[in-house]
Amino acid sequence: MKELIKVKIGESVFSLAKGTPLSELIPQLKLGDKLLLFKSGQELLDLSFPADHDRELKPVTASDPEALEILWHSASHLLAQAVLELFPGVQAGVGPATETGFYYDFLRDQAFTPEDLVAIETRMGEIAAEDLPIRRLILKKEEAIRIFEERGQKLKVELIQEKGGAEVTCYEQGDFIDFCLGPHLPSTGYIKYVKLLSVSGAYWKGDERGPQLQRIYGTAFFSQKELNDYLNFLEEARKRDHRRLGQELELFHTSEDLGAGLVIWQPKGAIIRYLIENFWKEEHLKDGYDFIYSPHIAKLDLWKKSGHTEFYEAMYPPLELEGCQYQLKPMNCPFHIIAYKSRQRSYRELPLRWAELGTVYRYERSGVLHGLLRVRGFTQDDAHIFCREDQLEDEIKGVIRLAIRLLRAFGFENYQIYLATRPDKYVGSLADWEKAEKALEEALKSSSLTYQIDQGEGVFYGPKIDIKIRDAIGRLWQCTTVQLDFNLSERFDLTYVGEDGNFHRPFMVHRALLGSMERFFGVLIEHYMGNFPLWLAPVQMIILPIADRHEAYAREILSGLRAEGLRVKVDDSREKIGKKIRQAEIEKIPLMAIVGDKEMHGNSLSLRIHGQGDQGEMKIDTLLPRLKQLIQDKSLEIKL
């Protein structure tokens, strides 16, 4: 007689013979096809999972947050099945769920075309309509290898040989089988609303020396409305793509002549950077920071002492100069530490707050480079605080206040805060970690900020606070990071003389508020879709003379406004006024001043606001103070 397993669901207890699939519980739960899988603690179990020991289970339906990831994983198998049916001889790689959908990698001599994607998506719909059961199989390793060898799937054989134990888990739907841990949906019939999005290149196992595969991306949802909403979101994101807008608005430029991941800020982008950096510096001076400038390279031995050569992989190869090895800096921290150690410090000097807009270089893989958001050379808005233990909480609170003040000035009012705690592998004493985590948490609590604990996600040298901003279409972007560091203080033997006359170890705080100039600028472009607020706009006003005889008056206005600090230009082309207005709208210039006979005689201008249209005739003496006030207040909207 088989052993009976007790399964508790809510207040009810059910009995199943050991080894019986959990799907046997479906009739008793009366959830019908709403039941997708079960959750046991933090573990997700599909309906084909066998009852193995007494458990408490929670039914998972489409409305539960875990369901979408399982749908995406199952959709990746559906994609692979369709591809292998339509294109015999193709090798299947791996196909996980992602943050927004799924992908599957394939080894194929010919490139997949847009027409291929249409055919694949159509076949996926047909297989979904067949409502094939998705079954979990436990196979002997040798049997699994034989099955995939017979199918000519050499990449799968390689994975099983590397990762499989004595027994391996596979999933089967119709004639398709995949090596996978699962879990999955009950059948293909749940995968109805699918869209394939794009194809890109990918290396097998992420190794650039390995075969290059083709990665097909897609997404899926439990309803057509959800899918339509997501596709509309993607279209909105496409319109905001900083790479396209950066080129159209002449903000920045990348080139193969420069090298991948390296950026030139063009004049319009450079003036925005200048404004951001000036504002950043002014706000830091208000908060008692001092500035540091450091070189772009240092002796390799410095990076060995800091631990970067041991722990940090994205470093450029060293340079050999006069028999000495030098390293392009990936971080600014060691330079600030050298400045700290330039003489003995006293407890009376602390805290020291040292900030630097420091350019660093990191050799990111070419496959992850993405416009301004992931580059190889970038400028961090970096700072380090050296303080005593009794000052730590107040310093963290000060950093958070400054971060929120900066982010709000750029229009980011909505954000999420995370406290990342001690990981499994860490340096420093447990007591130091507990003090540091408590200081971070107390700083958040006393600032009345809502936050989430990100368990075990601190860096090895200390816990951290992360602030992620939400942009105009709801996307989260990582910007502010505040990290405590026990590692570098120890490695460089940092000390200060305490009130008791003894040497003490200072706490060291790393912090970046905007993240990097490049990435933050990319986020700003997408957030505003290139329609920058007046205080940040590279050209704040363009003067549009109606005819040649009005150009002298236009230039008179230009000189007067520039003398008052406004960024103004004149369109002196021979185009008609309608075309001049259209061009100014395309360039997303906030203000357009049209001048003709009436305006010239009345010492006025006719004002248009980008996206709002005609505002009527205004005297220059009336308009100027209003504009200066909007700029001074860093107003996000133009209301005159």
- Phi, psi dihedral angles at 348 (to 5 degrees): -70, -25
Catalytic residue (one of 105, 116, 382, 466): 382
Q: Is 380 a catalytic residue?
A: yes
- Residues in contact with 47: Cβ distance below 8 Å, sequence separation at least 6, in sequence order: 21, 22, 23, 26, 35, 36, 37, 38, 186
Catalytic residue (one of 353, 510, 511, 550): 510
Asked whether 8 and 157 are in contact (CB, 8 A), the reply is no
Place of tokens 């009130």: 499
| Rounded CA separation 105/124 (Å) | 16
Q: Is 242 a catalytic residue?
A: no
DSSP string computed for 12-64: EEEEEETT-BGGGGHHHHT-GGG--EEEETTEEEETTSB--S-EEEEEE-TTS
The CB-based long-range contact list for 19-25 (8 Å cut-off, 24+ gap) reads 19/50, 19/51, 19/52, 20/50, 20/51, 21/47, 21/48, 21/49, 21/50, 21/51, 22/46, 22/47, 22/48, 22/49, 22/50, 22/51, 22/57, 23/47, 23/48, 23/186
The b/e string for 506-538 (b: 16+ C-beta within 10 A; e otherwise) is bbbbbbbbbbbbbbbbbbbbbbbbbebbbbbbb
Q: Is 384 a catalytic residue?
A: yes
Q: Is 550 a catalytic residue?
A: no
Q: Is 382 a catalytic residue?
A: yes
Q: Is 42 a catalytic residue?
A: no
Catalytic residue (one of 81, 153, 178, 333): 333
Catalytic residue (one of 156, 284, 345, 464): 464
Q: Is 247 a catalytic residue?
A: no
Q: Which of 82, 24, 22, 16 is nearest to 50 (CA)?
A: 22
Catalytic residue (one of 81, 380, 483, 540): 380
Catalytic residue (one of 384, 422, 511, 567): 384
Catalytic residue (one of 284, 362, 376, 519): 362
Which residues are tagged catalytic? 333, 362, 380, 382, 384, 464, 510
